[in-house]
């Protein structure tokens, strides 16, 4: 009887340690996701504080010019998180703005994609990436200001 009770106790202890590991992994992922969302917001905020010189206001011609220099992307690293801001207006035609409620004919947008990556977990073996899009309406066809 002692052997049977000992076997049950060992089984319960090992299953509870597995539950603790699963809970810790879920918490680590949640923390990493919250840090990533904060980093994306920080990067967008930093870009917006540049005023008229930010990536959101670039015309397609200016994006093409930057693309020739450094692949048309802004790369930043902050708190072990790598962020890339890529302006998607690389073609000849302007991109239409995404619909909100009703579409407005002829309204063009600058489309910027922000991709942020963070490694987390023991030995940083897991990786989480958040990709966010920003659409800036352009007042004129040639300039987003």
The whole-model pTM stands at: 0.67
> CB within 8 A of 42, min separation 6: which ones?
78
Mean pLDDT of 20-47: 88
Phi/psi at 33 (nearest 5 deg)? -65, -40
Domain boundaries, the chain: 2-137
Of 127, 99, 135, the C-alpha closest to 33 is: 127
Residue 79 DSSP one-character state: T
Return mean pLDDT, the chain.
Answer: 76
pLDDT band for position 30 (cuts 50, 70, 90) = very high
Of 49, 37, 21, the C-alpha closest to 118 is: 37
């Amino acid at each position: 009887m002692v052997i049977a009770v000992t076997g049950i106790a060992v089984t319960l202890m090992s299953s509870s340690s597995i539950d603790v590991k699963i809970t810790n992994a879920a918490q680590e992922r949640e923390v990493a996701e919250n840090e990533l969302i904060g980093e994306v917001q920080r990067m967008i905020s930093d870009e917006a504080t540049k005023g008229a010189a930010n990536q959101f206001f670039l015309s397609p011609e200016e994006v093409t010019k930057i693309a020739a220099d450094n692949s048309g992307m802004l790369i930043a690293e902050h708190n072990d998180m790598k962020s890339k801001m890529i302006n998607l207006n690389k073609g000849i035609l302007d991109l239409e703005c995404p619909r909100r409620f009703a579409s407005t004919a002829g309204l063009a947008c600058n489309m910027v994609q922000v991709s942020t990556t963070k490694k987390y977990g023991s030995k940083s073996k897991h990786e989480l990436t958040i990709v966010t899009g920003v659409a800036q309406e352009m007042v004129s066809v040639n300039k987003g200001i």
